[in-house]
A and B are shown apart, each in its own frame.
Chain A
Amino acid sequence: MDVSQYLEIFIDESAEHIQTLSDCIMTLESEPDNKDTINEVFRAAHSLKGMAGTMGFKRMQHLTHDMENVFQEVRSDKIAVDSEMIDLLFKCLDAIDAYLSNIKATSDEGTEDNELIIKALNDFIAKANGEQPAESAPVAEASAETAEAEASENGDNRKYLQIEMNDHERKTVLAARESGQHIYGMTILIQKECLLKAARAFLVFRAVEEFGQILVYRPSSQDIEDEKFELDFSFYIASSEALDKIQTAAKNVSEIEDVLGEELTDFGASTEAEEEPVKEETKPVVADVKPEAAPKTAEQKAQAPVKKAAGKPATNRTVRVDIEKLDELMNQVSELIIAKNSLTSISATDGGSFNSQTFHEQIEYLERITTNLHESVMKTRMVPIESVVNKFPRMIRDLSRTLNKKMELVMTGEDTELDRTVVDQIGDPLQHLLRNSADHGLEDTALRAERGKSETGHIFLNAYQEGNNVIIQVGDDGNGIDTDAVKQKAIERGIITAEQAEGMTQKEIVNLLFLPSFSMAKKITDISGRGVGLDVVKSGIEQLGGDVEVRTKLGEGTTFTVRLPLTLAIIQALMVEVRDEKYAISLSSISNIESIPVTDIKYVQAKEVIHLRGSVIPLVRLDQVLDMEPMEKDPENLTVVIVKRGDSQIGLVVDNLIGQQEIVIKSLGKYINGNKLISGATILGDGEVALILDTNTLM
């Protein structure tokens, strides 16, 4: 079957299932008895297995299958969840994730079998099988117990011991036994390379049926015929011949790895009443190990509605849309806005020449529609940051292990929405900040105790929307940044001179951390401190049009505040004029606009500043920055646009204000470079091109 067309869906859905698994396993770690979660985990693992199987990714299927078995055991209370198991399950998830990345890159799952993990998983199940009967069924017959013990020693291969019979089957078995025949349980293991498993099974059956009659098949004979089994199948056979004869006959079939079998005696009519129910009780799970038919499906079906009632509300109804289609839609909306702007400008200039009243009304109407349309299209591109941040609890847990520090991550605002492109790229910087907090921020457990802090370090990630921005704060209640140490290091590395260091504010010192290759780690660790550090975070965030700020207090903790624009494509901007050129300044960065008499300009260190309502604001002459001829004589009053970034402000001197406008951001392309000051261009209503100033670079 050609399944390539489903590949994308497969990848998306698998990623979702892996995330669900990861979340649930995290929950399980803290509440091992949460039935809902266990059920959810089981379901996710099951779907994953099914999907991998359908797509023909055998290794992935195999791994998920074994993982599902473990969940199955947990679900039926045969294994308790412990941290060893959680670790193993996370390892599994990583392995599955690796398969998935391989599939994403090459449409092939790769060749890693992850045998170690599979073995470890099977060990878990084996352990459960070995211990369980001893604990919960002490009345069970001795021979059954020995058989169980052997089974576990043999690594669970004797699946014939796990066959659970229905009434009809039990009757036939007992009848055969009463007629004086031996009942043998057998499990046939087929070689991995075997291509025609069903055919081999058929040959085996034909061989053994010369000696007797097969009474019970697992999986069912139909399933075996349809090749619906893994690498082994089991059956009970009634025969008057010796077991080894039958075994030899079965082994003579080619491509058979091994034949396991023994005579089963525990069907004795006298013990039946006692023993069978026990078997029923302890075994159902194990019977499910095989992709076996009816009982399991029924069981699952029965469980599904229960879960829905108890679990979270059903997920939102969604349609997957190719991001390119959205981009296209966005472009069309952009065009529409440009067209609308040009109508607006015509109406403004030609105001009197034709009946302006209705014209204006229509324009306003159009404006309202386009703005709404723009908003809706933008919203379709918005996704909650959840998809990025929900892998962090797991990461912090792992870090807690590797660093041997107790820590806890508290996240709020995971449902805050951001443009898809931003969300896709914000993961790495955030991850870096969190690792930073875990590694450098939090003190050792001992030191925390000494300082009278709680033993468990707290790391937090808060996301919320503020105007046209989304703020993500990442911080810890750890040591804080030792500014003196930073200063020292910076001087050592020749980044600043000792004299410069003297005059620096706390904030300026902290900002040194963002310089390339300035790493504070005293020793290089796995987690951070390879010399690529905060500068990468900063440039990553700036690429998205955002910025990052640090607040720190020695001994109390550090908080990084990441500010990101809601969307990248269309912004509200203030249009200004400098000489005869037009520039756009993003409205979100503007705090206010002032008219300042030239006489009010003061000088601090030969730089122009203004003193405004208690704060000193440096002035930037845009004409100078933009390489224009200075004016011969200043006008009496300067128009100053005051822009802010975090706490700092500067005043931009412009010649004229044009007004507020919605602008569509266009890139300058890859040819023109060396230009951080201009972040893009936009096309105005009259077809003219205006440049967009990135005021952050002026700070």
Chain B
Amino acid sequence: MTEYITDSTEKETKQYIVVQIGSEKYGIDIGYIDTIVRMSKITRVPKAQVYFPGIINLRGEVVPVMSIRTKMGLESDVYTNATRIIILKIEDRGMLGVIVDAVCEVVTLATDEVEPNNVHSNHTKDNFINGIGKNGDQLISLLEINAIIEEKDNA
């Protein structure tokens, strides 16, 4: 902890939770995350957007759950023992669950360890990334939360 404080006086840092989606690792700003839960029974909601498999009961609250794989245009989820639902809490819009294949670790990245995303391609999933973080020799794509919650008609 002391180390972290001395660190932060020198340069700004942010913590990210690193998750596995498909074959890639993504970082989610820890500030948005309310909690992480194991996979639980998802109740299907008819006529909802395709990337919403349904809703779950999170300790007495109803929380919609999104399949980020579907939204990114990847093949659909395979639920395993490692599958987790990241519960994001976004002001004004309430809670939202995002299904990820696994949760790996928490990393602390300084601002100068993050590079803006310059790789432009036609892949839908690149629109969800707002930067690349360098953690040692590992590269982590940082997810843009707003892009995740934005409506996308063609998703």
Interface set of A (CB-CB < 8 Å, partner B): 335, 338, 581, 625-628, 666-675, 677-678, 681-683, 687-691
Q: Are B46 and A678 in contact (CB under 8 A)?
A: yes
Q: Are B62 and A666 in contact (CB under 8 A)?
A: yes
Q: Are B46 and A677 in contact (CB under 8 A)?
A: yes
**B93, CB-defined interface residue at 8 Å:** yes
- Give the residues in chain B near A668, CB-CB below 8 Å: 45, 55, 62, 64
Give, as a whole number of angstroms, the nearest-CB distance from A332 to chain B. Answer: 11
A681–B54 Cα distance when bound, in Å, is 11
Give, as a whole number of angstroms, the nearest-CB distance from A663 to chain B. Answer: 12
**B48, CB-defined interface residue at 8 Å:** yes
Given A668-B55, A670-B94, A683-B57, decide whether A690 and B43 contact each other with a Cβ distance below 8 A.
yes
Selected A-B contacts with CB under 8 Å, 29 pairs: A335-B60, A338-B60, A581-B44, A666-B62, A669-B62, A669-B93, A669-B96, A671-B64, A671-B93, A671-B96, A671-B149, A672-B45, A672-B49, A672-B52, A673-B48, A674-B49, A675-B46, A675-B47, A677-B47, A678-B46, A678-B47, A681-B43, A688-B41, A688-B43, A688-B57, A689-B55, A689-B62, A691-B43, A691-B45
**B109, CB-defined interface residue at 8 Å:** no
Q: Are A669 and B94 in contact (CB under 8 A)?
A: yes
Residue among A625, A627, A672, A691 making CB contact with B64, cutoff 8 Å? A672
Tell me which of B62, B94, B96 has the highest count of chain A C-beta atoms within 10 A of its own C-beta. B62
**B72, CB-defined interface residue at 8 Å:** no
Give, as a whole number of angstroms, the nearest-CB distance from A495 to chain B. Answer: 26
**B66, CB-defined interface residue at 8 Å:** yes
- Give the residues in chain B near A673, CB-CB below 8 Å: 48-49, 151
A299–B63 Cα distance when bound, in Å, is 63
- Give the residues in chain B near A674, CB-CB below 8 Å: 47-49
Residue among B57, B94, B149 making CB contact with A687, cutoff 8 Å? B57
**B112, CB-defined interface residue at 8 Å:** no
Chain B: CB-nearest residue to A684: B57
- Give the residues in chain B near A678, CB-CB below 8 Å: 45-47
Q: Mark B24-62, 1 if CB is under 8 A from A, else 0.
A: 000000000000000001011111110010011100111
Give, as a whole number of angstroms, the nearest-CB distance from A612 to chain B. Answer: 27
A682–B60 Cα distance when bound, in Å, is 9
- Give the residues in chain B near A627, CB-CB below 8 Å: 46-47
- Give the residues in chain A near B62, CB-CB below 8 Å: 666-669, 681-683, 689
Give, as a whole number of angstroms, the nearest-CB distance from A648 to chain B. Answer: 22
Q: Are B52 and A683 in contact (CB under 8 A)?
A: no
A690–B49 Cα distance when bound, in Å, is 18
Interface set of B (CB-CB < 8 Å, partner A): 41, 43-49, 52, 55-57, 60-64, 66, 93-96, 149, 151
Q: Are B95 and A669 in contact (CB under 8 A)?
A: yes
A675–B46 Cα distance when bound, in Å, is 8
Tell me which of A581, A628, A677, A689 has the highest count of chain B C-beta atoms within 10 A of its own C-beta. A689
Give, as a whole number of angstroms, the nearest-CB distance from B24 to chain A. Answer: 24
Q: Are A672 and B48 in contact (CB under 8 A)?
A: yes
A486–B93 Cα distance when bound, in Å, is 41
Residue among B43, B46, B48, B151 making CB contact with A689, cutoff 8 Å? B43
Give, as a whole number of angstroms, the nearest-CB distance from B98 to chain A. Answer: 11
A673–B49 Cα distance when bound, in Å, is 7
A675–B41 Cα distance when bound, in Å, is 21
Chain B: CB-nearest residue to A625: B46
Q: Are B49 and A689 in contact (CB under 8 A)?
A: no
A626–B66 Cα distance when bound, in Å, is 19
- Give the residues in chain A near B44, CB-CB below 8 Å: 581
A670–B149 Cα distance when bound, in Å, is 10
Q: Are A670 and B45 in contact (CB under 8 A)?
A: no
Main secondary structure of the interface of A (DSSP, over half): loop
A667–B93 Cα distance when bound, in Å, is 12
- Give the residues in chain A near B95, CB-CB below 8 Å: 669
Known contacts A666-B62, A671-B52, A677-B46; 14 additional CB pairs below 8 A are A626-B46, A627-B46, A627-B47, A666-B61, A668-B55, A671-B94, A671-B96, A675-B48, A677-B47, A678-B46, A687-B57, A688-B41, A688-B43, A691-B45
Q: Are A681 and B60 in contact (CB under 8 A)?
A: no
Give, as a whole number of angstroms, the nearest-CB distance from B58 to chain A. Answer: 10
- Give the residues in chain A near B63, CB-CB below 8 Å: 669
A41–B106 Cα distance when bound, in Å, is 68
- Give the residues in chain B near A681, CB-CB below 8 Å: 43, 55, 62
A687–B60 Cα distance when bound, in Å, is 8
- Give the residues in chain B near A677, CB-CB below 8 Å: 46-47
A691–B60 Cα distance when bound, in Å, is 14
Q: Are A675 and B45 in contact (CB under 8 A)?
A: yes
- Give the residues in chain B near A670, CB-CB below 8 Å: 93-94
A682–B62 Cα distance when bound, in Å, is 8
Chain A: CB-nearest residue to B41: A688
- Give the residues in chain A near B66, CB-CB below 8 Å: 671
Give, as a whole number of angstroms, the nearest-CB distance from A682 to chain B. Answer: 8
Chain B: CB-nearest residue to A339: B60
A669–B66 Cα distance when bound, in Å, is 12
- Give the residues in chain B near A335, CB-CB below 8 Å: 60
Given A671-B66, A671-B149, A675-B47, decide whether A689 and B56 contact each other with a Cβ distance below 8 A.
yes
Chain A: CB-nearest residue to B149: A671
A689–B97 Cα distance when bound, in Å, is 15
A348–B7 Cα distance when bound, in Å, is 59
Report the 6 A-B pairs with minimum CB-CB distance, sorted nearest first. Answer: A689-B43, A666-B62, A626-B46, A681-B62, A672-B48, A671-B64
- Give the residues in chain A near B149, CB-CB below 8 Å: 671
- Give the residues in chain B near A691, CB-CB below 8 Å: 43, 45-46
- Give the residues in chain B near A667, CB-CB below 8 Å: 62
Chain A: CB-nearest residue to B46: A626
Give, as a whole number of angstroms, the nearest-CB distance from B40 to chain A. Answer: 9
Give, as a whole number of angstroms, the nearest-CB distance from A97 to chain B. Answer: 31
- Give the residues in chain A near B48, CB-CB below 8 Å: 672-675
A576–B27 Cα distance when bound, in Å, is 42
- Give the residues in chain A near B49, CB-CB below 8 Å: 672-674
Chain A: CB-nearest residue to B40: A687
Chain B: CB-nearest residue to A680: B62
A627–B43 Cα distance when bound, in Å, is 14
A377–B55 Cα distance when bound, in Å, is 28
A626–B54 Cα distance when bound, in Å, is 13
- Give the residues in chain A near B47, CB-CB below 8 Å: 627, 674-675, 677-678
Chain B: CB-nearest residue to A674: B47
Tell me which of B45, B46, B48, B60 has the highest count of chain A C-beta atoms within 10 A of its own C-beta. B46
Chain B: CB-nearest residue to A622: B46
Give, as a whole number of angstroms, the nearest-CB distance from B66 to chain A. Answer: 7
A691–B64 Cα distance when bound, in Å, is 12
Give, as a whole number of angstroms, the nearest-CB distance from B124 to chain A. Answer: 19
- Give the residues in chain B near A682, CB-CB below 8 Å: 62
- Give the residues in chain A near B56, CB-CB below 8 Å: 689
Give, as a whole number of angstroms, the nearest-CB distance from A336 to chain B. Answer: 11
Give, as a whole number of angstroms, the nearest-CB distance from A92 to chain B. Answer: 40
- Give the residues in chain B near A338, CB-CB below 8 Å: 60
Chain A: CB-nearest residue to B151: A673
Give, as a whole number of angstroms, the nearest-CB distance from A620 to chain B. Answer: 14
Give, as a whole number of angstroms, the nearest-CB distance from A209 to chain B. Answer: 67
Give, as a whole number of angstroms, the nearest-CB distance from B53 to chain A. Answer: 10
Q: Are B43 and A581 in contact (CB under 8 A)?
A: yes
- Give the residues in chain A near B45, CB-CB below 8 Å: 668, 672, 675, 678, 691
A671–B148 Cα distance when bound, in Å, is 11
- Give the residues in chain A near B41, CB-CB below 8 Å: 688-689
- Give the residues in chain A near B94, CB-CB below 8 Å: 669-671
Give, as a whole number of angstroms, the nearest-CB distance from A166 to chain B. Answer: 65
Q: Are A683 and B55 in contact (CB under 8 A)?
A: no
A678–B96 Cα distance when bound, in Å, is 18
Give, as a whole number of angstroms, the nearest-CB distance from A636 to chain B. Answer: 27
